[in-house]
Amino acid sequence: MTPARGGRGVYGLELAGEDDAFAAREAAAAATAVDVVAPGLATARGVDVDRLRTLAYTHRATSLLGRCAASVDAARALVEAATTERTGTVAVRARDVRGTAGIDTRRAERELGGALVDRGFTVDLDDPDHELRACFAADTCLVGWLVAESVRDYGDRLPTDRPFFQPGSMAPLDARALVNLAGVDPGDTLLDPMCGTGGTLIEAGLIGVRPVGVDAQRKMVRGARENCRAYLDGDSHVLRGDATRLPLADDTVDGVVFDAPYGRQSKIERHSLGDLVAGALAEARRVAPRAVVVGDRSWRAAAVEAGWTVDTTFERRVHRSLTRHVHVLSQ
């Protein structure tokens, strides 16, 4: 990855959701050396600013002035001691992340704003040249200049609002995260061999990845094509086919993502659920070096049997009766 504008300094990341390990793993698509340092906060050694804007579970990145104890006085002392070449107008935003620090954020903004005024800045809350962010979480505070925010437009693509909808479709926020976990970059090709209504394909295409979908059901192929046309300007390819016998040559895609049928949805022509997933895992390994596989149970043993290395797994609770198991795989 070549960092764009963010460069190789030390950065703070404001994570989204409640699963910091999952968010940090996704953030690795846009940053290096990601390390969770407090609830909802991480640091990184390098950030690709443009790529960070495509993340689902990171809200913002800041170029760090430093890290200190979670107190207003410590944060002010850090700002007063830090060196910066920035000038002009500034706004200060303070957060008590998940309410874990017990900080008076208004006082923090006043104190840090005062320290910056003492250094020659002018406060402009509406249209500042720079935004200083102080994020307090548990016993830690990260203070830094805002450099990037992710684009939070997932509500514009709700499954129920698409031209073609089927119950059980994954939310676009999670589909985007899976694409990023697959380690694909703009210009790469991503395959979903059980593409359903095309949600993963849409999220891949929106970040500049070339999406290829396969589905066994004719109506899903038609529906996925219709959905992709509604949201994507670039090429997308959706084919009817069998995930256990893909119509693709060896090593032709850069990553694979698929959401395996869940137990209550597992009536599949010609295949038991176990055989379907095992075959799909074997075929995914034939065509790609990396994969992300989701199911309502662990498919670790099947992935290892197919020759994959299981880099990590996550359990993502959707509701009382469904926990998604996310497997990040590599060769």
Q: What is the pLDDT of residues 222-253, one digit of tens each?
A: 999 999 999 998 778 999 999 999 999 999 99
| pLDDT computed for residue 3 by the predictor | 35
Q: Fold for domain 11-149?
A: VC0802-like (3.30.2130)
Give dist(CA 250, CA 327) in Å, integer.
22
pTM metric for this prediction: 0.93
| pLDDT computed for residue 8 by the predictor | 64
Six-digit token pair at 152?
């939070």
Q: What is the pLDDT of residues 82-106, one digit of tens each?
A: 988 899 999 999 999 999 999 999 9
Six-digit token pair at 94?
């303070």
Give dist(CA 122, CA 120) in Å, integer.
7
Local structure of residue 242 (DSSP, 8 states): B
Residue type (1 letter), 266? S
3-state secondary structure of 180: helix
- The domain locations on the chain are 11-149, 154-330
Question: Around Cβ 112, how many Cβ atoms within 10 Å?
Answer: 24
Tell whether domain 154-330 is in CATH 3.40.50.200. Answer: no
- Find the mean pLDDT for residues 101-120: 97
- The CA-based angle 289-56-42, given to 5 degrees, is 90
